[in-house]
Amino acid sequence: MSNRRQDRNPTHGRDFGNRHGNRTLLRRRDVNSSILFRMLATLALAFTLLLPAWPCEAARKVLVLQSLRVAPYEEAAKGVRSAVTGNIKKLVLSDLDGLDAAKSVRDERPDVIVAIGTEAMNRVKKIKDTPIVYLMVFDQHNTLTTGSNITGIGMHVAPERQLISAQKALPRLKRVGTLYNPARSGALFRKTQAMARSLGIDLVAREVRSSRDALNLVEGMKGDIEAFLMLPDATILTPETVEYLLLFSLNNRIPIITFSDKYVQMGALMALDVDPYEVGRQAGEMVRKILSGTPPESIPRSEPHGAVIMINSKIARKLGLSLNEEVLSRAKVIR
């Protein structure tokens, strides 16, 4: 009897071990299956939550308010459209026939407003509950473009970049004159001065408090400078001062380097001007960030990235200047 019991025990142990091992294996499979199921469920939920966001973002509305129907503003608006997908509507102030532009904009209930031009920005400045992105806005005193709901692109290419382009066009350039009002363009002048030093250019600068003083200060630079850098300073940019500068340039064979093709067409030698389409695209990237949830106050205002060299070849000939051929090949030349 004892022998029979001993004969059965080994088999009984093995059966128990097998059953125990099978149950352990099954439990492991159940645990693994449970973990896999939870992972798949989590992924499915995340995917479901993300799906509505895509059409929703595309359906959000952007309203472009444009000051005038002029070529630079039209190009800027195209640049905005190239960077922003979804519902974009454009209003042009000159088409509104005296209607309240701010009310017309509010009635559209946009998620973001894009203001192209100074007058467009002036009309929507009072709107505080909708993000605004501005471009091609002249606001030297920062009275139009301040506010927690506002960001955008500056009006002009930085003067220090103007100097770099001027030196490439005129490699022997060493002494450049300029005028500035410390209260209006002091910070701009200091950046320009630092760049001039790094380029080995001596910046001959005179402070001007009133446009009436500008003429005598410019006249005093005669024989001491090789070119004149025009800064975007309203104290200097009066019609009388600009006219005098252009005459001074021709009479003394001193080229004017400026920031706008407007003055190149009037008689300045060259400018590094904004590329409207590229500036529009740059503003469009800001709009996309806002639509993605970034608040406007977290998007720094910036200078225009894209720029075009403008050269008046007729003025170059009158001044007896020989310009760098590589720069000429890349420039927009006014003949």
Same domain, 99 and 230: no
List the single range of 27-36, 45-54, 272-281 with lowest mean pLDDT. Answer: 45-54
User: pLDDT (tens digit, 9 = 90+) per residue, 215-267?
Assistant: 999 999 999 999 999 999 989 999 999 999 999 999 999 999 999 999 999 99
What local confidence, expressed as pLDDT, does residue 140 receive?
73
What local confidence, expressed as pLDDT, does residue 18 receive?
52
Please state, in angstroms and rounded to a whole number, the distance separating the CA atoms of residues 160 and 246: 21
Same domain, 330 and 216: yes
Choose the most confident range, by mean pLDDT, from 33-42, 46-55, 104-113.
Answer: 104-113
Same domain, 217 and 196: yes
**Share of residues in the chain with pLDDT > 90 (%):** 73
What local confidence, expressed as pLDDT, does residue 54 receive?
38
List the single range of 8-17, 201-210, 269-278 with lowest mean pLDDT. Answer: 8-17
Closest CA to 165 of 257, 286, 69, 236: 257
User: pLDDT (tens digit, 9 = 90+) per residue, 278-302?
Assistant: 999 999 999 999 999 999 999 999 9
Same domain, 172 and 253: yes
Bridge partners, residue 180, by sequence: 207
User: pLDDT (tens digit, 9 = 90+) per residue, 159-193?
Assistant: 899 999 999 999 999 999 999 999 989 989 999 99
Please, which pLDDT band fits residue 7 given cuts at 50, 70 and 90?
Answer: very low
**What value does the mean pLDDT of the chain take?**
87
Same domain, 166 and 192: yes
274 burial level (CB within 10 Å; 0-12, 13-18, 19+): buried
What local confidence, expressed as pLDDT, does residue 48 receive?
45
Please, which pLDDT band fits residue 2 given cuts at 50, 70 and 90?
Answer: very low
Q: What is the mean pLDDT of residues 307-335?
A: 94
Please state, in angstroms and rounded to a whole number, the distance separating the CA atoms of residues 127 and 92: 17
pLDDT of residue 203 exceeding 70: yes
Q: How wide is the angle at C-alpha 179 spanned by C-alphas 259 and 315, nearest 5°?
A: 50
pLDDT of residue 324 exceeding 80: yes
Expressed as residue numbers, the domain containing 171 is: 159-275+308-334
Please check whether residue 21 lies inside any domain of the structure.
no
User: pLDDT (tens digit, 9 = 90+) per residue, 119-138?
Assistant: 999 999 999 999 999 999 98
User: Can you give the CATH number for the domain in which 194 is found?
Assistant: 3.40.50.2300
Same domain, 317 and 184: yes
Q: What is the SS3 assignment for 91? A: strand
Cα–Cα distance list, 304 to 70, 157, 279, 283 (Å): 19, 6, 6, 9
Please check whether residue 59 lies inside any domain of the structure.
yes
Distance of CA 192 to the CA centre of its chain: 20
Please state, in angstroms and rounded to a whole number, the distance separating the CA atoms of residues 163 and 181: 19
Same domain, 92 and 163: no
Please check whether residue 229 lies inside any domain of the structure.
yes
What local confidence, expressed as pLDDT, does residue 29 receive?
54
Same domain, 187 and 281: no
Which residues are CB-contacts of 61 (< 8 A; sequence separation ≥ 6)?
A: 86, 87, 88, 89, 108, 109, 110, 111, 112
Phi, psi of 2 (to 5 degrees): -65, -40
Same domain, 103 and 178: no
User: pLDDT (tens digit, 9 = 90+) per residue, 53-99?
Assistant: 334 455 689 999 999 999 999 999 999 999 998 899 999 998 988 78
Q: What is the mean pLDDT of residues 149-167?
A: 93
What local confidence, expressed as pLDDT, does residue 65 receive?
97
Same domain, 235 and 86: no
206 burial level (CB within 10 Å; 0-12, 13-18, 19+): middle
Please state, in angstroms and rounded to a whole number, the distance separating the CA atoms of residues 179 and 159: 13
Which residues are CB-contacts of 91 (< 8 A; sequence separation ≥ 6)?
A: 63, 64, 65, 66, 101, 104, 105, 108
Please, which pLDDT band fits residue 143 given cuts at 50, 70 and 90?
Answer: confident
Same domain, 135 and 186: no
What local confidence, expressed as pLDDT, does residue 216 receive?
94
Q: Total domain count for the chain?
A: 2
What local confidence, expressed as pLDDT, does residue 51 receive?
43
Q: What is the CA radius of gyration of the chain?
A: 33
